[in-house]
Amino acid sequence: MMATTRFAKAPAPAEPARRGPGGRQFFRTHRELTSAATFFVAMLGVFALANPGVWLRGDIFAAVATTMPQLMILSVALVFVVALGEIDLSFPSIITLGSLVFASAATAGIQPSVAVLLALLAGLGAGLLNGVLVAYLGLSSFVTTLGMNFFWAGLINILSNGSGKPLQFMSGTAEFNAFVGTVFGIPVQLFWGLAAAAIGGLLFSKHKFGAYVRFAGDNREAAAQLAVPVRAIKVASFSYVGLSAGLVGVIVTLVNVNFYPNVGAGLLLPALAGVFVGGTPMFGGVGTIAGAAIGAITISFINVGIITSGLSGFWTDFVYGIVIVLSLGVHRIAERFSFRPRTGRNKREPAAVTPAA
């Protein structure tokens, strides 16, 4: 009876397309992105219900755009490391390192554009060091980067004597306008954030680098057998995060027109949350840059949403917690939903190429 039923159904799957209706196919290949976007819209909806009037004004969005791009730049770069099955916890101190290098160089009278370059190089170097430690010494990235976060934070405290550096003289310079000025009322850093996301997206989904990152994060052994340079890819990914942190270091310094010795510290959890809220899972092999960008936006709107809803700042962490856990739930549901038809079809697939028991 069972067998007859299965046999009768067998020929059916041949016709139903491997490419379902357009929408469903899009959802399948971009399910993390779709669920991240859905979640973001739902969250905005809740905030808007709490205080509809505020959300019609542009200044809220301008406020978000001042700090959001920094998160976006970080979350995008972190996707590469997370998709490799690794983690980077040292970027907050690398941001501060970039900030210190930039502020010190600028204060010392070095050409500001050269100071920017030095900050980027410092970030790149710190990231490179992480990568070498993880890829070539085989150290755990979690512990290594946790240690490096302390290392750089401590070194910065020693070098700066724990005191800040005012940079008011930078205000209005060409470099200031290039990173944190405004164009038509839009903060310039938003363009940097979007550019970082666009470049990251291209690298991740269309370039060999991204393909290798995903493959190595998915099956390291197989990657090595297929001559994918796994170690170099790891070093490059950590360097990429370092470089991005260096850039964020320059931006935050110019936003504050000040260096202070723990400027990066507050970005650790929001930037990582952006990655996971965006739908990149922890197990490696999979990731989404567009999702991370949406994740960074989602996280950035939490603060504003809390204030416009009339809640006190004490609610912030509480809402962060809810958002992060809820979004993971949404991704999980989306994953099941998008997998179900395929698994079902495979089960009905007859003996053509099934393994002999």
Binding site for another protein (CB under 8 A): 13-15, 17-19, 29, 202, 206-208, 211, 214-215, 218-219, 221-229, 285-286, 339, 342-343, 345-346, 349, 351-356
* Nearest CB to another protein, comparing residues 5 and 225: 225
DSSP 355: P
* Nearest CB to another protein, comparing residues 23 and 310: 23
* Nearest CB to another protein, comparing residues 153 and 228: 228
For residue 229 the two structure tokens come to 């340079």
Question: What DSSP assignment string belongs to 121-190?
Answer: HHHHHHHHHHHHHHHHS---HHHHHHHHHHHHHHHHHHHHTT--EE-GGGTTSHHHHHHH-EETTEETHH
* Nearest CB to another protein, comparing residues 233 and 241: 233
Distance of closest approach, residue 82 Cβ to another protein, in angstroms: 13
- Under 8 Å between Cβ of 196 and 72: yes
Distance of closest approach, residue 23 Cβ to another protein, in angstroms: 16
- Under 8 Å between Cβ of 103 and 162: no
The phi-psi region of residue 227 (left if phi > 0; otherwise alpha if psi is between -120 and 50; otherwise beta) is left
Distance of closest approach, residue 199 Cβ to another protein, in angstroms: 12
Distances (CA, A) of 108 to 111, 156, 257: 9, 17, 15
Distance of closest approach, residue 204 Cβ to another protein, in angstroms: 11
Distance of closest approach, residue 337 Cβ to another protein, in angstroms: 15
* Nearest CB to another protein, comparing residues 10 and 178: 10
